[in-house]
Amino acid sequence: MGTVHKTPGEEALANVPGGAVRSFDAEFAGDVVLPADPEYGRERQVWNGMIDRYPAIVARCTGVADVVAAVTFAREQGLPLAVRGGGHNVAGTAVCDGGLVVDLTPMNAVRVDSEERTVRVEGGATLGDVDRETQLFGLATALGAVSQTGVAGLTLNGGYGHLSRQYGLALDNLRSVDVVTADGQVRTASAERNADLFWGLRGGGGALGVVTSFEFELHEVGPEVYAFFVWFHADDAAAVMDRYLEWTADAPREAGVLAFAAHVPALEEFPEETWGEPAVAMLGSYRGDLEDADEVFGALRESATPIADLSGTMPYVALQSMLDEDYPDGLRYYWKSIYLTDVTDEVVDVMLRYNESTPSALSTIDLWHLDGAVGEVPPDATAFRHRDKPYMLTIEANWEDPSGDDANVDWARAAFAEVERLPVASGRYGNFPGLNEDPVERRFGDNYERLVDLKTEYDPTNLFGTTGTVAPRTAAD
């Protein structure tokens, strides 16, 4: 008789007493999904199609009590623990082999207090969930730029987006959080309560607990904004990038632009003869007086003759979702980022050269202009450290065919390695971490030791150890 192969999830579950699993299921208000259940195959999947992991249990939480029960069960049974918010972390930290997934996606409520200008957001909500509610009042908080992204992961690792230069990172807009720590306790953390924990949660990723709700500050944004979206021929890249760098030197806070190297998509908005052609593009927005938008972006638009100019006034929620179709569930992704003190000719050369050689026309190399409000927060004010760098370069490998995994990952790593060797490059960004293969110290710099102290205090057994972040000190340390 042949041997039946078991997945890591099945093997781990077989080592947990059946009575303990039944008791957990009985007290759990949400759904407890096990490997034998018909929905298991769907529930173990995450946004990045390259991630293929088999948890022992997926616990779909309906409230904080469920989160406490799941954390307690994982700790008592010695199971690895992963936390799924929106599930968009490119490294796939929302799921783990042989462990328990605390799935927050059913917890996606959003409540706006328009008088206090705050919004309370549950841990499973997406950016789109938040923007839909806040824009009813002409308000928004600083989040990301793809509406399907989860608020939790984005915020706990930083959170860049259209509003960053004006209002800071997503984590800079936090007033308080509710968090379930490894001991199963529910704590509120803010500048006044559990301030040390609040410091570590802002930038420490999921290392210190499961954040079940976030309280954000809101700002007047929209409902109409100006979107700047222009594509240029790669042959004009030198002139376009020179003008872009001149523009970033004194750009208004109300405006932000991301420059990127890409290939022209086969869409009717673009001339058919340019489809598949290497290109340089810019995507940004302006939230000031909309009549001034042409003047704000004029120098960029006139840097060369565009392939296509898709700019115009649109609702803020449309701006936030205009990239959604570029990042569908199930596509394969590998992204890495590094900060830059300057954009040199060598950086631009890497962008253009690797854009030409990419195995996938879906891939891009993105140059983020940071600066502004992000850089005005002291680097030791939160666990998030790299605030003094005006730019960030992201290598985005995006592809469809599993047989192309090695080629696309190798391409991204080669491009990254060239940039990393440049004297203008340093640091890492937690939301674009590759597969978490780099030393975690590069993400936190001089904040690393303090974060390790907090990890040792709040999670001494490293229950939240699947997130690619800091580990607690041991007796040997």
Phi-psi region of 196 (alpha: psi -120 to 50; beta: other; left: phi over 0): alpha
Q: Is 447 helix (H, G, I), strand (E, B) or coil?
A: helix
Each residue's pLDDT tens digit, 231-262: 999 999 999 999 999 999 999 999 999 999 99
Neighbour-count burial of 474, counting CB atoms closer than 10 A to its CB (0-12 exposed, 13-18 middle, 19+ buried): exposed
The pLDDT value recorded for residue 387 is: 94
pLDDT score of 2 more than 50: no
pTM comes to 0.94
pLDDT score of 36 more than 70: yes
Q: Which residues contact 228 (CB under 8 A, 6 or more apart)?
A: 255, 257, 282, 283, 284, 285, 286, 293, 297, 300, 301, 311
Each residue's pLDDT tens digit, 137-179: 999 999 999 999 999 999 999 999 999 999 999 999 999 999 9
The pLDDT value recorded for residue 213 is: 98
- In this structure, what token pair is assigned to residue 384? 């998030």
Alpha carbons 389 and 385: distance in angstroms, whole number: 10
The pLDDT value recorded for residue 458 is: 97
* Phi, psi (deg, nearest 5) at residue 131: -60, -35
Q: Enumerate domains of the chain plus CATH numbers.
A: 8-103 (3.30.43.10), 110-220 (3.30.465.10), 224-426 (3.40.462.20)
Angle in degrees, 0-180, between the axes of helices 237-249 and 345-357, rounded to the nearest 10: 130
The pLDDT value recorded for residue 1 is: 43
Mean pLDDT across 30-39: 97
Mean pLDDT across 225-231: 97
